[in-house]
Structure 1
């Protein structure tokens, strides 16, 4: 997919990996629809940053865990840009809970993380599919996590939810083929606000990083953009982790 003039919806686009992805997409000529849930101020700042550099972006508030809000969001994107060519399923949440503290992994936390991290990605994929399939080389990229590969991360429910995202990617790739490609980027440790105040835990979980560095949001955004442009790839779960899981 050539990103020039393509409409790309990015969920959780106001901060971190989502913000870096919106900026890189716009720099490559894409028309960016930036979703946010609660980070309105950060979304406005990111949109302003993009526009000041000549990019085209709109911002849309929606909670991806709520199907009705997702469908309304997609309608707004189509109303303003005419269609959708690609989706970056980035919106996710976590809770910082020691892995061995099973009692703190309450039903409320399980439901909250699954509703956003798994069902939210499904809601978005379902809502955009009728638009994306109208275009050759349309694509969806889900953002997973090495926590879903290793079983270790910010919390047990988070790790399990990301393992589900990896499985969702493969199922959607089958369900939406041949018109829509669906892949998953699996970041290792990334320096984002999620780990503010928890840096020691992040480095401990990261283990022996072969490249001796923590990824930046820009690193992951570059991989997402590259995956959008690889027209022969679908159903793949690709790890970008500085050698963390080797």
Structure 2
């Protein structure tokens, strides 16, 4: 797909990885809707920087992706503001560090929140953009999962299961939305400088980095570049690409 002049909605676009994705897309001439949950000032700052640096249109939009009507309003607002919507990047996520063997702390409230944001939220957004992209005759959806979805690792059982579900949702939606819309997934390993990483204990961060073949965290720019490649592709769909400095092979 020709990216110049396309419109992308990036959920969690004000986060550590989300900002890199917004910049990578804007550098290709993509107009960007920066979706945020709470940090309005930060998201508006990201949108302002995108506009000034790349001479594209960018705007911040609030949304709780666990709220179905709010998601529908978001898609309506973005399409009204930009006139179209070609790309959805599901980057917004929530985690809470709970050791796997501490089942007492894995309450249903924690489980439900993680699932609502990490899995049901992307499903809601995908369903909401599907008719828009079908009517346009083209669309790209990129989900941001985690290596925790491919191996029983990560900050909690709920987080790992939510990301495994997102990886399989990618496959299922690729089937459902073909041929107009291509759906792919990036599964990063440990990333420095993100809110998700900030929720982890220091020993978890060190263990994840030292256990990789390259002995370092995954690179946010590598992940953002892969998102761009998945938006540009014409013949890849239903795939998950791992970027984790060599920890998980699938």
TM-score interval w.r.t. the shorter chain?
Answer: over 0.9
Any conservation in 1 of the 2:210–2:216 contact (CA below 8 Å)?
no
**Runs of 5+ consecutive residues of structure 1 not aligned to the other structure:** none
Q: Alpha carbons of 1:149 and 1:207: their partners in 2 closer, same or farther (altered >3 Å)? A: farther
Q: Is 1:30 aligned to residue 30 of structure 2? A: yes
Pairs within 5 Å for 1:89-168: 89-168=90-169
Per the TM alignment, residue 245 of structure 1 is displaced from its structure 2 partner at its CA by 1.1
Give the aligned CA root-mean-square deviation in angstroms: 1.4
Any conservation in 1 of the 2:190–2:197 contact (CA below 8 Å)?
no
Ranges of 4+ aligned residues in structure 1 off by more than 4 Å? none
Q: Counterpart of 1:45 in 2: which secondary structure?
A: helix
Q: Report the Cα distance in structure 2 between the residues aligned to 1:193 and 1:109, rounded to whole angstroms.
A: 17
Match of 1:189 in 2: 190
Q: 1:214 aligns with which of 212, 217, 221?
A: 217
Any conservation in 1 of the 2:214–2:245 contact (CA below 8 Å)?
yes
Normalising by structure 1, we get a TM-score of: 0.96
Q: Report the Cα distance in structure 2 between the residues aligned to 1:213 and 1:160, rounded to whole angstroms.
A: 25
Per the TM alignment, residue 27 of structure 1 is displaced from its structure 2 partner at its CA by 1.3
Q: Deviations over 1:184-225 (max 9, x none)?
A: 111111112322373331221345222222123222111111
Match of 1:226 in 2: 229
Q: Alpha carbons of 1:109 and 1:101: their partners in 2 closer, same or farther (altered >3 Å)? A: same
Q: Counterpart of 2:136 in 1: which secondary structure?
A: coil
Q: How many residues align?
A: 246
Any conservation in 2 of the 1:36–1:60 contact (CA below 8 Å)?
yes
